[in-house]
């Protein structure tokens, strides 16, 4: 993570380079022997201190050139212009300094100008107090492009250069910052970067506000990854029910005799046919709630039932027979809505989860409300201002983030994803789980990278949907989506011998593009989430194999044009087959583009532009398929007796 920003002054904080040019031109006119091409000379000298500027003039115009007189004349002209017009502060200066201050990012300055001039300008602009360190040209022996001034700035901050961003407007400044080992950012003023300078840049922005935008997105993308790529054991919907029940049991402070579960249709749909881990093969809402009550550790959230002893498993079977547990549908306008009410010996407690699998919005004990929040808000332990803004996601910036990210900021979550998801995938290949889609693919179609990419993702789902107790790292609240977005990319990296750093960057593309798509659709929908993750996997593969934004964008569009008709009819063994189809579409979408083929705007739900297409798919999945979702749930629950008990369950 970038811990500090060091600014150049002239041309970055203040629009003084143009004033310098005007002053130099005035001085040149007054010289008996006027130097030629004064603008080119100024551009060459930007970033140099006084001594090196004098050497430049003497080398270019001869030893007899009266540099002292020229300097006196241009200094006089410069001062007169400032006195007449005021010190011109660059657009975005106050905004970027305030943003960095609030973000806790340290600020320093490294200018080739003299200290008295620098401090005077900072004071006049009212920004002196923002700067923790100020290093000036008269404090160093060698001026830019030598790295001395930037090394001194980093030493003043006590930070390694690799953790510090330098903001410059000149080629000499960029050379200096890059040679110091810093992240060199150019906001061009009088000089645009040429090919040599472009190779040294960490980033190029049109204004200081562009840097603010980049830093905001960088921070947000890291926060989104930390928030979304978390471990979970088992299908997340039954695990959310178990978590809710464990929290209710914790409030009640004893084992309940009666349990009422109120769940939205999508929760019922996704819990109905999937095995709840650590229950000896049990399925359904009752089993999920019961194991959370008997053995759940609420502090572990989506790993709430990761550690269940054999004794507790045996105890669970008896509890399911003895306790009065019933289910009612909840139709409160939320697709993810779970309430668990528990009762024992005159005491009661309830917990409600809405929108996200661990987003507790209400806690109540014996009629007393202990916690209550807006269901549309963030998770219980998040402050509103800490919730990342998913609206900042877009495919172009995701690709830029993948290219520029400091891997130390994201390596822990990605390393955990690789370890967890490859482990359950390998178990799915070895074991006998569900319909064994992963194994069938390998047996029927052979051992090539295209088949293996589909098989490893499907095998992980085989295991997870059918009771495997290994954890997965999820994406957008779904383990299946987490495996689909990651495992094909990992398999391609193995096939092509790609180094770890490139794999991590490709996983940034696959995960964030999946999250971006899902943020438009919502956590649960009649639209199969594997489609989004399969397109994300294709995007990650495109990046892994040397593609950039263009290849990634076209891969996603092509993939979405192929498989966007797949519906979600609940978590179950056939999810593995849908995952295989979604990964196939992602790979085909990439292969189409590199072979000169693509789907175009106007082809079905595809529009011109990747973001327009993602918006269309979000509209289709969130709004267009609401009635489809209701019909699917009615079909699935036609034979299930959902009780609306006249007795509320309260004693």
What pLDDT, in 10s, does the model give residues 267-322? 998 898 889 999 988 999 999 999 999 999 999 999 999 999 999 999 999 999 99
Q: Binning pLDDT at 50, 70 and 90, where does residue 537 land?
A: very high
Please name the fold of domain 232-385: 60s Ribosomal Protein L30; Chain: A; (3.30.1330)
Cα→Cα distances 575→382, 455, 465, 521, Å: 32, 13, 8, 18
Q: 602-616 pLDDT, tens per residue?
A: 999 999 999 999 999
Residue with tokens 């996603």: 556
- Residue 178, both tokens: 């890059």
- 26 phi and psi, to 5 degrees? -65, -40
pLDDT at 643: 42
Region for residue 250 given its phi and psi (left: phi exceeds 0; alpha: psi -120 to 50; beta: otherwise): alpha
Q: Binning pLDDT at 50, 70 and 90, where does residue 82 land?
A: confident
* Pairwise CA distance, residues 93 & 109, whole Å: 13
* Residue 85 bears catalytic tag: no
Q: Report yes or no: 458 and 576 within 8 Å, Cβ to Cβ.
A: yes
pLDDT at 50: 72
| CATH code at 4-11+89-206 | 3.40.50.1000
pLDDT at 377: 60
pLDDT at 642: 45
Cα→Cα distances 207→41, 92, 188, 215, Å: 24, 7, 8, 13
Q: Binning pLDDT at 50, 70 and 90, where does residue 401 land?
A: very high
Least confident interval from 82-86, 215-219, 484-488 = 82-86
- Residue 574, both tokens: 């056939």
Least confident interval from 91-95, 240-244, 445-449, 638-642 = 638-642
Cβ atoms < 10 Å from Cβ of 296 = 29
Mean pLDDT of the chain: 91
Check 8, 146, 189, 337 and give the catalytic one: 8
Q: Is 230 helix (H, G, I), strand (E, B) or coil?
A: coil
Q: Binning pLDDT at 50, 70 and 90, where does residue 499 land?
A: very high
- Of the spans 31-35, 36-40, 63-67, 97-101, which averages the highest pLDDT? 97-101
pLDDT at 608: 94
* Pairwise CA distance, residues 282 & 329, whole Å: 21
pLDDT at 636: 86
Q: Report yes or no: 447 and 454 within 8 Å, Cβ to Cβ.
A: no
Span 572-601, average pLDDT = 97
Span 188-206, average pLDDT = 92
Least confident interval from 77-81, 140-144, 241-245, 450-454 = 77-81
How would you write 50-119 as a 3-class SS string? HHHHHHHHHHHHCCCCCHHHHHHHHHHHHHHHHHHHCCCECCCHHHHHHHHHHHCCEEEEEECCCHHHHH
- Residue 573, both tokens: 């063994």
Please name the fold of domain 393-634: 2-methylcitrate dehydratase PrpD (1.10.4100)
Span 170-193, average pLDDT = 93
pLDDT at 86: 81
Q: Report yes or no: 110 and 95 within 8 Å, Cβ to Cβ.
A: no
Q: Binning pLDDT at 50, 70 and 90, where does residue 229 land?
A: very high
H/E stretch holding 402: helix 395-404
Span 333-343, average pLDDT = 94
pLDDT at 648: 41
* Pairwise CA distance, residues 328 & 468, whole Å: 28
* Residue 8 bears catalytic tag: yes
pLDDT at 184: 98
Burial (CB < 10 A; 0-12, 13-18, 19+), residue 366, is exposed
Q: Report yes or no: 368 and 359 within 8 Å, Cβ to Cβ.
A: no
Query: Does 230 have pLDDT greater than 60?
Result: yes
pLDDT at 381: 46
Check 10, 169, 189, 584 and give the catalytic one: 10
- Residue 7, both tokens: 């600014």
Q: Report yes or no: 168 and 184 within 8 Å, Cβ to Cβ.
A: yes
H/E stretch holding 263: strand 258-263
pLDDT at 78: 76
Enumerate the domain spans of the chain: 4-11+89-206, 17-85, 232-385, 393-634
């Amino acid at each position: 993570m970038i811990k500090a920003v060091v600014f150049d002054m002239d041309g970055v904080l203040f629009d003084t380079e143009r004033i310098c040019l005007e002053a130099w031109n005035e001085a040149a006119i007054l010289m008996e022997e006027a130097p030629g091409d004064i603008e080119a000379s100024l551009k060459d000298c930007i970033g140099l201190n006084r001594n090196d500027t004098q050497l430049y003039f003497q080398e270019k115009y001869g030893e007899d050139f009266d540099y002292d007189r020229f300097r006196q004349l241009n200094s006089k002209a410069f001062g007169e212009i400032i006195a007449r017009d005021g010190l011109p502060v660059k657009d975005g200066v106050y905004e970027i300094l305030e943003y960095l201050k609030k973000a806790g990012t340290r600020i320093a300055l490294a200018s080739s100008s003299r200290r008295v001039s620098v401090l005077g300008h900072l004071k006049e602009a009212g920004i002196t107090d923002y700067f923790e360190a100020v290093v000036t040209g008269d404090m160093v022996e060698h001026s830019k492009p030598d790295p001395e001034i930037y090394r001194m700035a980093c030493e003043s901050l006590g930070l390694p250069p690799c953790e510090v961003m330098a903001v410059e407007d000149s080629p000499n400044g960029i050379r200096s910052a890059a040679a110091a080992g810093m992240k060199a950012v150019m906001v061009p003023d009088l000089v645009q970067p040429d090919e040599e300078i472009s190779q040294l840049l960490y980033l190029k922005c049109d204004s200081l506000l562009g840097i603010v935008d980049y830093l905001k997105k960088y921070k947000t993308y890291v926060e989104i990854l930390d928030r979304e790529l978390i471990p979970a054991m088992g299908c997340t919907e039954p695990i959310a029910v178990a978590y809710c029940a464990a929290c209710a049991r914790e409030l009640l402070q004893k084992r309940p005799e009666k349990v009422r579960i109120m769940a939205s249709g999508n929760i019922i749909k996704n819990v109905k046919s999937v095995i709840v881990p650590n229950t000896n093969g049990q399925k359904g809402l009752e089993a999920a709630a019961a194991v959370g009550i008997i053995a759940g550790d609420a502090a572990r959230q989506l790993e709430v039932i990761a550690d269940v002893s054999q004794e507790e498993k045996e105890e669970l079977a008896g509890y399911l027979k003895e306790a009065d547990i019933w289910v009612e549908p909840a139709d409160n306008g939320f697709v993810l809505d779970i309430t668990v009410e528990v009762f024992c010996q005159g005491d009661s407690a309830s917990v409600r989860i809405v929108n996200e699998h661990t987003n507790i919005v209400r806690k109540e004990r014996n009629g007393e409300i202990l916690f209550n929040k807006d269901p549309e808000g963030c998770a219980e332990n998040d402050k509103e201002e800490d919730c990342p803004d998913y609206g900042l996601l877009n495919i172009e910036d995701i690709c830029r983030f993948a290219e520029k990210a400091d891997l130390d900021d994201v390596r822990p979550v990605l390393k955990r994803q690789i370890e967890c998801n490859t482990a359950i995938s390998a178990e799915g290949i070895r074991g006998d789980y569900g319909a064994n889609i992963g194994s069938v693919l390998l047996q029927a179609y052979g051992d090539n990278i295209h088949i293996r990419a589909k098989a490893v993702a499907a095998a992980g789902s085989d295991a997870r949907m059918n009771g495997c107790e290994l954890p997965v790292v999820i994406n957008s609240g779904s383990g299946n989506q987490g495996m689909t977005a990651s495992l094909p990319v990992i398999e391609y990296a193995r096939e092509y011998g790609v180094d770890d750093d490139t794999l991590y960057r490709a996983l940034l593309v696959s995960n964030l593009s999946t999250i971006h798509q899902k943020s438009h659709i919502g956590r649960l929908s009649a639209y199969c989430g594997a489609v989004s993750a399969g397109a994300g996997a294709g995007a990650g593969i495109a990046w892994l194999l040397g593609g950039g934004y263009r290849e990634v964008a076209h891969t996603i569009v092509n993939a979405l044009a192929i498989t966007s008709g797949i519906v979600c009819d609940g978590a179950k063994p056939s999810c593995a087959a849908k995952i295989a189809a979604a990964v196939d579409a992602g790979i085909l979408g990439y292969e189409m583009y590199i072979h000169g083929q693509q789907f175009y705007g106007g082809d079905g739900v595809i529009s011109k532009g990747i973001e327009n297409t993602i918006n269309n798919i979000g509209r289709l999945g969130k709004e267009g398929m609401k009635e489809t979702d209701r019909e699917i749930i009615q079909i699935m629950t036609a034979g299930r007796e959902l009780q609306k008990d006249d007795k509320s369950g309260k004693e």
